[in-house]
Amino acid sequence: MIDQLAEIKARALKDLAAADDAEATEAWRVAYLGKKGQLTTVLRQLGALPPAERPLVGQKANEVKVALELALAARLEVERRVALRRAAEAERVDVTLPGRQPSLGQVHPTTRVLKEVLDSFAAMGFQVAEGPDVEWDYYNFEALNIPKDHPARDMWDTFYVQSKGRPGEILLRTHTSPNQVRVMEKVRPPVRVVVPGRVYRYEATDATHESEFFQVEGLAVDKNVTMADLKGVLSAFAREMFGAERKVRFRCDYFPFVEPGVEMAISCFQCGGVGCRLCGNGWLEIMGAGMVHPKVLAGVGYDPSVYSGFAFGIGVERIAILKYGIDDIRLFYANDLRFLRQFK
């Protein structure tokens, strides 16, 4: 039996050396060390030996078993390394390849100017609020002293939303002014807010007209707010946006929700105010403004004999057009990358 063991060992080691892949190794394990393997079969016969021979044969058998197990472990380790090396080679990265440039987006010129406008007013203590694009006729017109039959409605023709219950009452806001009312309904004076937002008009589009654009509404209400405050705040804004040497001009204008109403212009920053292609006569109109109409104040429950305020409305694209010398407002919504990429 000892001879048989020695013979098994020699054959096993030879076979293992010849096994050249993981499958062959596994077949080898089953053939020699498996439950019905050759070595196991011999070990099972141990009981049949005379008791005197058992210890020696048992020891020998054990030695062979350990030797085969060690040989198997060594073989498996070699296989593991080969597999690892193959995997590493398959996944090899060429670190010398140039990287792919990710395409970086950038802020839209409207957004950029909008942020500058808001920052400028934030520095003067104005908070930012927002309101809905789809608005009630009440806020867009009625509460702003523009009743149904008012001719001023012609300046702000808009898109109406079909609604069963209240036909003709829901529309796309034509300006951000409804937020004057919405803000005042919610808070008591002092009020200092700026409200950015998209506005809509039923408009035949051309180089200076779009059916959608952005405005920033401003509102300040408190005791003793006067036209001097309006001029001071808006002049500071104009100088911040267009240069410290800007002169400002206020002329009468009409908006039903302010009294008096003004249109504000700045001295042209391109020619310094002498007149050029951009401005014509030296002045650039940049916004409408005025003292909040007493009817608007009374409408939200502010006592007009105690409180007064000023409001203004800035066209954001208009500011961008002036600042960057853009000659067509439709460029803002054309999604033409050649245009947009210029605003880095």
Active site positions, annotated: 156, 175, 201, 215, 258, 311
- Which residue, 34 or 260, is less far from ligand PHE as judged by CB? 260
Q: Are 187 and 195 in contact (CB under 8 A)?
A: no
Q: How far is the CB of 312 from ligand PHE (least distance, A)?
A: 5
- Which residue, 39 or 311, is less far from ligand PHE as judged by CB? 311
Site map (CB under 6 A) of ligand PHE, residues 241-280, x = contact: --------------x--x--x-------------------
Q: Are 37 and 45 in contact (CB under 8 A)?
A: no
Q: Count the neighbouring beta carbons within 10 Å of the beta carbon of residue 236.
A: 15
318 is a site residue for ligand PHE (CB under 6 A): no
State which amino acid sits at residue 121. Answer: F
User: How far apart are alpha carbons 64 and 55 in whole angstroms?
Assistant: 14
Mapping DSSP to helix (H, G, I), strand (E, B) and coil, where does residue 153 land? helix
User: How far apart are alpha carbons 133 and 259 in whole angstroms?
Assistant: 26
38 is a site residue for ligand PHE (CB under 6 A): no
309 is a site residue for ligand PHE (CB under 6 A): no
- Which residue, 269 or 312, is less far from ligand PHE as judged by CB? 312
Q: Are 168 and 137 in contact (CB under 8 A)?
A: yes
| Site size toward ligand PHE, by CB under 6 A | 11
Looking at residues 170 to 209 of the shown chain, list those that interact with ligand PHE (rule: CB under 6 A). Answer: 175, 177
Piece of 6-14, 101-109, 114-122, 310-318 that binds ligand PHE (CB under 6 A)? 310-318
- Which residue, 79 or 253, is less far from ligand PHE as judged by CB? 253
Strands (E), the chain: 127-128, 134-136, 170-172, 191-200, 212-223, 248-253, 258-267, 283-292, 307-315
Q: What six digits make up the tokens of 106? A: 């950038």
Piece of 132-140, 286-294, 297-305, 335-343 that binds ligand PHE (CB under 6 A)? 286-294
Q: Are 284 and 320 in contact (CB under 8 A)?
A: no
- Which residue, 71 or 152, is less far from ligand PHE as judged by CB? 152
Q: Which of 313, 318, 329, 332 binds ligand PHE (CB under 6 A)?
A: 313
State which amino acid sits at residue 76. Answer: L
Q: How far is the CB of 272 from ligand PHE (least distance, A)?
A: 27
CA-based max dimension of the chain: 128
User: How far apart are alpha carbons 125 and 224 in whole angstroms?
Assistant: 17
- CA terminus-to-terminus distance, the chain: 89
Q: Provide the binding-site residues for ligand PHE, judged by CB under 6 A.
A: 175, 177, 255, 258, 261, 288-290, 311-313
